[in-house]
Structure 1
Amino acid sequence: MKTRFLFLCLALAPALSPADEGRHLSVPLLPAYQQECAACHIAYPPGLLPAASWQRISQNLAKHYGSDASLDPATVAQLSQWLTAHAGNGKRAREAPPEDRITRSAWFIREHDEVPAATWKRASIKSAANCAACHGGAEQGDFNEHRIRIPK
């Protein structure tokens, strides 16, 4: 009986993985990623995008969503390798979203469909890309919907 229970738990573990579940996407952050990327926005969990998206983002830092985020080649290689290694590979990251934007992915739109457009424009939020405005644990990869606090 115990052996069957253990086997069942092990068999189900990949299906219940945090990356696929989407509530807690923490992975220990690479210090260079924290230093370089989180200086301008949260260090988005790599599991939110597929590897191909992270590769394109890494290769186009001179035009990073309207900003020049250029880095030296060694740092780009290090970040690209780490992001690709930890990229999403579950159902949420099956397809690259338009323009490789997390906020344009099908799962993001589905999860936020009840948020009115005016909410994203609030001064306290500014855009859908500002996860930390509503998800207090976003910096740690925690997006649990039971802990959401939408600012006024």
Structure 2
Amino acid sequence: MKTTFWIGVAVLTLFAQGSAGADEHGARSLSVPLLPKYQQECAACHLAYPPGLLPAASWQRLMTSLPQHFGSDASLDPASVAELQRWLLANANTAKRASKEPPPPQDRITRSSWFIRQHDEISAATWQRASIKSAANCAACHRQAEQGDFNEHRVRIPR
């Protein structure tokens, strides 16, 4: 009877964590509600990538290098940087596996080992299609990427 009780407690605890818990890859939920400031500032140029896609150290480096943000000047006022940085770090990938892996080169999501593993069947030619343009264009294949939904069963690779 005690064992059944503790199994029930464990199941309820996992259920209660819901989207705030870890996903099957050990990453925090990718569907965390986006901070309006993040949506306003970052999604103006690209998909507002869910903060769970990178570890805190990567977000920290990205936020301190905004004047040279992947070839663009994405500078923001200090108050905005502080607000965004707090939110990104609070919602970053905290999985033990993420902290053991080396940071993605140049902190690029598309060069992280988990991204490469998940997309290893995609050819270089597919990424270069006019309808996709690059591996960083998540929304080309993941139609609900803006909502943090990257479920592989809903992927549609455009021609």
User: So what's the TM-score if we normalise by structure 1?
Assistant: 0.90
Task: Measure the CA separation in 2 of the matches of 1:139 and 1:19.
Answer: 20
Among 58, 82, 105, the residue aligned to 1:77: 82
Q: 1:119, 1:125 within 8 Å by CA — same for their partners in 2?
A: yes
Q: Distance in 1 between matches of 2:153 and 2:95?
A: 22
Measure the CA separation in 1 of the matches of 2:43 and 2:30.
16
1:18 aligns to what SS in structure 2?
coil
How far apart, CA to CA, are the structure 1 residues paired with 2:144 and 2:29?
A: 9
Change in 2 beyond 3 A, CA 1:107/1:123: same
Q: Does 1:112 align with 2:114?
A: no
Q: Which residue of 1 aligns with 2:106?
A: 99
**In 2, Cα distance between equivalents of 1:125 and 1:11:** 40
**What are the equivalent positions in structure 2 for 1:1-152 lying under 5 Å apart?**
1=1, 3-10=5-12, 17-18=22-23, 20=25, 25-91=30-96, 93-94=98-99, 95=101, 96-152=103-159
1:114 maps to a residue whose letter is E
Q: Give the CA RMSD over aligned residues.
A: 2.1
Structure 1: which 4+ aligned runs deviate by more than 3 Å?
A: 10-14, 19-24
Structure 1: gaps (5+ residues): none
Gaps of 5+ in 2: none
Instruction: Report the more deviating stretch, 67-76 or 19-28.
Output: 19-28
CA contact (8 A) 1:63 1:69 kept: yes
| Higher relative contact order (Cα pairs below 8 Å, separated by 6+ residues) | 1
Q: In the aligned structure 1, how far is the partner of 2:40 from the partner of 2:13?
A: 37
